[in-house]
């Protein structure tokens, strides 16, 4: 896994003297998540979250979004996945022509375990999240 985003995010945060907690609060994630991303132990965030991350550390949103996209583009495809491999390759080929909104919709469809409208609770309160319902 490439660590381009991890290295960029950590260097920018340290240079701008922003604390992990500030980034975590602004992105509605845990400090453990932010730390793990910066160490390259978790995948880079989606482009939209990477761009927001950049604004928090006074970085260039386009550079952060591209670094995240580059890191997320790397993946190993198991040859035994059959038709899933074909679907993945079709999406990958279409990706350059997709609008950011369409790409976000596809990502929401593909994330497992997310069904319907539900309340997400955290230490910082709760909020509603809408996700597709699978049948």
Query: What are the sequence ranges of the domains in the chain?
Result: 4-73, 79-130
pLDDT at position 91: 78
Could you tell me how many residues make up the chain? 135
Within 8 A by CB and 6+ apart from 74, the residues are: 1, 2
Per-residue confidence at 92, pLDDT binned at 50, 70, 90?
confident
Cα–Cα distance, 24 to 32 (Å, whole number): 9
Residue 71 pLDDT > 80: yes
pTM, rounded to two decimals: 0.55
At the fourth CATH level, the homologous superfamily of domain 4-73 is: lambda repressor-like DNA-binding domains (1.10.260.40)
Q: Which phi and psi angles does 77 have, rounded to 5°?
A: -105, 120
**Cβ proximity of 122 and 28 under 8 Å:** yes
- Considering only CA atoms, which of 129, 27, 120 is closest in space to residue 68? 27
The per-residue pLDDT for range 11-70, each reduced to its tens digit, is: 999 999 999 999 999 999 999 999 999 998 888 998 889 999 999 999 999 999 999 988
């Amino acid at each position: 896994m490439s660590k381009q985003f991890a290295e960029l995010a950590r260097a920018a945060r340290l240079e701008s003297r922003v604390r992990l907690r500030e980034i975590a609060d602004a992105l509605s994630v845990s400090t453990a998540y932010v730390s793990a991303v910066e160490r390259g132990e978790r995948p880079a965030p989606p482009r939209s979250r990477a761009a927001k991350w950049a604004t928090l550390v006074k970085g260039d949103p386009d550079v952060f979004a591209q670094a995240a996209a580059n890191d997320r583009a790397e993946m190993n495809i198991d040859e035994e996945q059959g038709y899933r491999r074909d679907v993945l390759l079709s999406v990958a080929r279409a990706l350059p022509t997709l609008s950011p909104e369409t790409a976000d919709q596809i990502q929401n469809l593909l994330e497992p375990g997310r069904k319907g409208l539900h309340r997400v609770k955290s230490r910082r309160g709760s909020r509603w999240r809408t996700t597709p319902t699978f049948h």
